[in-house]
Amino acid sequence: MAKFPTNLAAVVLMVAPATASPTDWLQFGYDQAHSGYNPNESQINAENVKYFKSLYSVELGAAAAPVYLSGVPGANGPHDVLIANLTDGHIAALDAATGAIIWSKQPAPAEPILHSTESAPAIDPSRNYVYAYGLDGKVHKYAVGDGTETIDGKWPVVSTLKPTVEHGSAALTIGHAASGASYLYAVTNGFNGDGGDYQGHVTAIDLTTGAAKVFNANCSNLAIHFVENGAFGVNDCATPRSGIWGRPGVIFDSGTNRIYVATANGNFNANVGGYNWGDSVLALAPDASSDGLGNPADSYTPANFYELELYDIDLGSGALAIVPAPAASKFQHLGAMVGKDAVLRLLNLDDMSGQNGPRFVGGELQSLPAGGWIDAPTPQTAVWVDVHGDGSTWLFTAPPISGVTGLQLVVDASGTPSLATRWNVNLTFSSSPIVANDVLFAGDPPRALDPRTGAILWSPPLDTTSYSTTWGQPILVNGRLYVAGTILTVYGLLPDPIYSNGFEQAQ
């Protein structure tokens, strides 16, 4: 059970004033592509981040990545709210200024609860509601102000009918389709490693109607939620696994108007006419529908898929990263994929296999080492465009045993894009990196780095605790760095020109 503070036992310091136009952090990785890049940060920069101080810490309970909403109406006026899902199934809303609990809820099946969730919540585009995965296998809808749950003929919405074997650990995603519709996405993987009757699948929920569609990574010809140990080919699939383990879950790309999921170790037979899509990147329509025959819109499967399955080096340990391409690139929609095998693959999202459709193998534009193999979900790659420099695109990967690596997208004279490794810093890491105003935050606890060189600009004080969970990600919003784990630790600037302006006083 999470320990919610009744008396705030933290030392809370006065902090720098908020910006005139505060920013929200509405879902994992800031945006629907989960880039980890906040382009609207203005208070923290490469000059003043060295003055970061620990502002407060509170005992929260094991939490995944938080989300943030500014200016939420309250009895005593508007306040900024931090919302996190805890592994025991609680969703908790905190006052971002102090860490005090505003409300908490815990939808759950009957005790004992033998499973958990590491799923990050997502805030509705209206800013009135927050969605969270519950241990009952459903996605729940709460009012951001007081936690009142919407319970009607639409909500909560089923994400899995196998909540004791299918794990809802990846973040929820909200994506906005070209049609104007907005969708909420939830995915599943397994609880007991690769054991049990589980299948990775996507549930896409229309936020206007509450209607849901399902795409199954195994038995994709059946667009339904399976039941545990059901009748194969009717309401269950004979083939298990192919879980979607990437920390952000679904990636939405507005450039292609598609969603992308990466599956983990499991049977792949789509290249011979089957409906199993283990160790693949799948592109789907925004509502997660197939062509009616179980085919995704497109797919990428490494040529060594059998080896990935045999040795449990899941491609889908991570998730796709959307890579902005310069005008000179012959491929305008790019994606990068890092899995448990620590190979970085650059893909053409308009034709991932290079063979004009799904069910083929191979076809990546480039593959290169991205560190060492690690038996854990892979941190999400952060993507940053150097708008204050040369305008180039950078990627920051962080396999835990190989540190943090900065890679730059380059385009040769023929228009062919590729990734070039520029630096590596040996930082212990388990949460996903983020970038804001030319500062990269990476490591666990997070350090501030120069994204162009990897030079460390700031390290947290030795007397603070800020370790995040394996599924976590810090957020940097409105001048504050929030690191959620068993302890929520918040860093920022003190209200003094020496900190807020980045100029040191004369000696």
CATH number of the domain bearing residue 92: 2.140.10.10
Distance CA 387, CA 309 (A): 40
Q: Tell me the pLDDT band of 305, cut-offs 50, 70 and 90.
A: very high
232-291 pLDDT, tens digit per residue, is 999 999 999 999 999 999 999 999 999 999 999 999 999 999 999 999 999 999 999 999
Strand partners, 65: none
Task: Give, in order, the Cα–Cα distances in Å from 154 to each of 130, 158, 224, 226, 250.
Answer: 15, 10, 17, 20, 22
Q: Give domain status of residue 470, yes or no.
A: yes
Task: Please give the mean pLDDT across all residues of the chain.
Answer: 90
Distance CA 47, CA 51 (A): 9
Helix (H) or strand (E) holding 498: helix 497-500
Q: Give domain status of residue 4, yes or no.
A: no
Q: Give domain status of residue 356, yes or no.
A: yes
pLDDT, position 12: 36
Q: Which of 282-296, 317-331, 382-396, 491-505 has the lowest mean pLDDT?
A: 491-505
Distance CA 52, CA 410 (A): 33
pLDDT, position 505: 33
Helix (H, G, I), strand (E, B) or coil at 282: strand
pLDDT, position 373: 61
Closest by Cα among 340, 344, 338 to 374: 340
409-460 pLDDT, tens digit per residue, is 999 999 999 999 999 998 876 789 999 999 999 988 899 999 999 999 999 9
Per-residue pLDDT averaged across 321-343, rounded?
96
Q: Give domain status of residue 146, yes or no.
A: yes
Give 491: exposed, middle or buried? Use CB within 10 Å, 0-12, 13-18, 19+.
Answer: buried
Q: Tell me the pLDDT band of 403, cut-offs 50, 70 and 90.
A: confident
Q: Give domain status of residue 237, yes or no.
A: yes
The conformation of residue 300, written as its DSSP 8-state character, comes to E
Q: What tokens does 268 get?
A: 């792949």
pLDDT, position 6: 34
Helix (H) or strand (E) holding 310: helix 305-310
Cβ pair 362, 303 in contact under 8 A: yes
Per-residue pLDDT averaged across 170-185, rounded?
98
Per-residue pLDDT averaged across 19-24, rounded?
76
100-127 pLDDT, tens digit per residue, is 999 999 986 655 566 889 999 999 999 9
Cβ pair 380, 34 in contact under 8 A: yes
Q: Tell me the pLDDT band of 347, cut-offs 50, 70 and 90.
A: very high
Per-residue pLDDT averaged across 57-82, rounded?
92
Distance CA 190, CA 281 (A): 18
pLDDT, position 60: 87
Q: Give the dihedral sign, CA 5/59/169/24.
A: positive
478-500 pLDDT, tens digit per residue, is 999 999 988 999 999 987 645 44
Per-residue pLDDT averaged across 41-68, rounded?
94
Q: Tell me the pLDDT band of 192, cut-offs 50, 70 and 90.
A: confident
Say whether pLDDT at 15 is over 60. no
- Give the CA-trace dihedral at 105, 111, 117, 119, to 10 degrees: -30
77-104 pLDDT, tens digit per residue, is 899 999 999 999 999 999 999 999 999 9
pLDDT, position 507: 30
Instruction: Give me the count of residues in the chain.
Output: 507
Q: Give domain status of residue 48, yes or no.
A: yes
pLDDT, position 109: 63
Q: Which domain holds residue 416?
A: 37-500
Distance CA 125, CA 175 (A): 10
Helix (H, G, I), strand (E, B) or coil at 343: strand
- Quote the number of domains for the chain: 1
Q: Tell me the pLDDT band of 330, cut-offs 50, 70 and 90.
A: very high
pLDDT, position 62: 86
Q: Give domain status of residue 13, yes or no.
A: no
140-158 pLDDT, tens digit per residue, is 999 999 999 999 999 999 9
pLDDT, position 381: 96
Say whether pLDDT at 11 is over 50. no
pTM listed for this prediction = 0.94
**Cβ-proximal residues to 190 (8 Å cutoff; 6+ apart), any chain:** 165, 166, 167, 196, 198, 240, 241, 243
Cβ pair 229, 240 in contact under 8 A: no
Q: Give domain status of residue 203, yes or no.
A: yes
Per-residue pLDDT averaged across 168-175, rounded?
97
